[in-house]
Amino acid sequence: MLPCKLLKKLCGLPDQLLVEGGEDGILYYQKSHLDAEKRQAARIKISQALQELASFVTQLGFEAREENSDQMIMAQMGASWADLVDSQSSRLKGYGDLDRQAAAVIDPAVNRLARLAAELGEFFTYISSGGLLCR
């Protein structure tokens, strides 16, 4: 049922991004530049697609299946760790020379962030396997 799952995710993404004020973030933010009327028209289209998907799934007799969000978080933290490790100054040399002072700032921060991503992944692995927190 992968195509249906993909359609559901693709419909959910624009709906999230159509929030009027946008989505705030630490490093970047997302904001729709559609006016209220166009945003509403987009939401109607998304709703129609989701209704069509629901009708098709019902016709086939499928029921909703639970996805473990803990596993998705663990996977995302693993991917974030890998991305961060690839951001170390030694890996950035392929883009040109990097100032030593920049490397002295970047590497410790990237290493801390990579460690945090790994710790979060381990944390979710531990608690999702029934481990108890002792802190």
The region, left, alpha or beta by phi > 0 then psi within -120 to 50, assigned to residue 130 is left
Judge whether residue 52 has pLDDT over 90: no
| pTM (global) more than 0.85 | no
Q: Mean pLDDT across the stretch 33-50?
A: 83
Per residue in 86-125, pLDDT tens?
Answer: 888 888 877 888 888 988 998 999 999 999 999 988 888 8
Contact in structure between 80 and 115 (CB atoms under 8 Å): no
Mean pLDDT of 30-37: 79
